[in-house]
């Protein structure tokens, strides 16, 4: 898996602070931006976050390139609807000799790994054979969820906070959790105050909403505080 933050709104924290200040000021945005100093911006952004006043966060966006992930992951990712996506097409891009993602549980078992690799090889062969019989857009129906793909995804900061809350949770599926952790590391480098408290609610709020499905991490965190 490779994840890159390819671009984002310049001075994202200042933009968020100016958007919030605008609600209570008669001054135009350029003047508000000029008067905002770094320390003031950081303090204001943290205050907005702590108050849950997150609509100003929607004015800044972050664009990622994501490569070498499975279709299992991409199907989960697009469930986060307040975002924009572009994905490599299996209709127009042939997947001959496709690469695939192997789950860790399969990698740990030699027998499972042998079976998995055999299935992938068979599917590659059948995919190539079918292309000689039917259009490639129909041959792709035999491609597996493990087949790798590439995407471009653009989120605003508020949507990212929601994404990180759900997908860095230990209950999230392992591959998309890995993606979320990589994305969080990248945006924290670009906008540390916007994302300093991003993550699962057990860490950020001291509460778990998983009920009977909780992984138990919250109790561990509470134990560390005592």
pLDDT, tens digit, for every residue of 185-212? 999 999 999 999 999 989 888 888 888 8
Confidence bin at 223 (pLDDT 50/70/90): low
**38-51 helix and 12-22 helix, angle to the nearest 10 degrees:** 70
Q: What is the pLDDT of residue 24?
A: 65
* pLDDT higher than threshold 70 for residue 219: yes
* pLDDT higher than threshold 80 for residue 131: yes
Residues making up the annotated binding site for FAD are 55, 79-81, 87, 156-158, 162
Q: Which residue has the higher pLDDT, 203 or 168?
A: 168
Catalytic residue among 35, 167, 171, 188: 167
* pLDDT higher than threshold 70 for residue 25: no
Cα–Cα separations (whole angstroms), residue 16 to 34, 45, 219: 14, 7, 35
In this prediction, residues 1-25 reach a mean pLDDT of 89
CA separation for the pair 186, 224 (Å, rounded):
27
Using DSSP's 3-state secondary structure scheme, residue 217 falls into helix
CA separation for the pair 169, 192 (Å, rounded):
20
Q: What is the pLDDT of residue 190?
A: 97
Residues making up the annotated binding site are 55, 76-81, 87-91, 140, 156-158, 162, 167
In this prediction, residues 91-107 reach a mean pLDDT of 97
**Neighbour tally for 160: CB within 10 Å:** 26
Confidence bin at 50 (pLDDT 50/70/90): confident
CA contacts within 13 A on the Cβ side of 199: 14
Confidence bin at 30 (pLDDT 50/70/90): confident
Range name among 93-97, 106-110, 221-225 with the lowest pLDDT average: 221-225
Q: What is the mean pLDDT of the chain?
A: 92
Residues making up the annotated binding site for dUMP are 76-79, 87-91, 140, 167
167 a catalytic residue: yes
Under DSSP, the state recorded for 213 is G
Confidence bin at 130 (pLDDT 50/70/90): very high
Q: What is the pLDDT of residue 99?
A: 97
In this prediction, residues 133-151 reach a mean pLDDT of 97
Contacts of 24 (CB under 8 A, 6+ apart): none
In this prediction, residues 74-101 reach a mean pLDDT of 96
* pLDDT higher than threshold 60 for residue 17: yes
* pLDDT higher than threshold 60 for residue 226: no
Contacts of 125 (CB under 8 A, 6+ apart): none
* pLDDT higher than threshold 90 for residue 90: yes
Using DSSP's 3-state secondary structure scheme, residue 87 falls into strand
**Full set of structural domains in the chain with CATH:** 2-85+149-199 (3.30.1360.170), 92-142 (no CATH)
């Amino acid at each position: 898996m490779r994840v890159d933050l390819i671009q984002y709104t310049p001075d994202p924290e200042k933009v968020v602070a100016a958007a919030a200040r605008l609600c209570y000021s008669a001054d135009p945005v350029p003047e508000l931006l000029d008067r905002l100093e770094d320390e003031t911006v950081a303090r204001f952004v943290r205050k907005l976050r702590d108050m849950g006043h997150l609509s100003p966060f929607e004015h800044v966006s972050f664009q990622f390139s994501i490569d070498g992930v499975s279709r299992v992951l991409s199907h989960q990712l697009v469930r986060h609807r307040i975002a924009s996506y572009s994905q490599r097409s299996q209709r127009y891009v042939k997947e001959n000799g496709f690469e695939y993602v192997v789950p860790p549980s399969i990698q740990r078992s030699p027998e499972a790994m042998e079976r998995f690799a055999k299935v992938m090889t068979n599917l590659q062969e059948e995919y190539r054979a079918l292309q000689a019989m039917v259009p490639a857009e129909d041959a792709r129906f035999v491609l597996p969820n493990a087949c790798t793909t590439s995407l471009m995804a653009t989120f605003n900061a508020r949507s990212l906070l929601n994404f990180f809350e759900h997908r860095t949770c230990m209950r999230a599926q392992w591959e998309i959790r890995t993606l979320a952790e990589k994305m969080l590391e990248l945006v924290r480098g670009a906008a540390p105050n916007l994302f300093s408290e991003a993550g699962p609610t057990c860490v950020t709020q001291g509460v778990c909403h998983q009920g009977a499905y909780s992984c138990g991490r919250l109790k561990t965190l509470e134990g560390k505080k005592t």
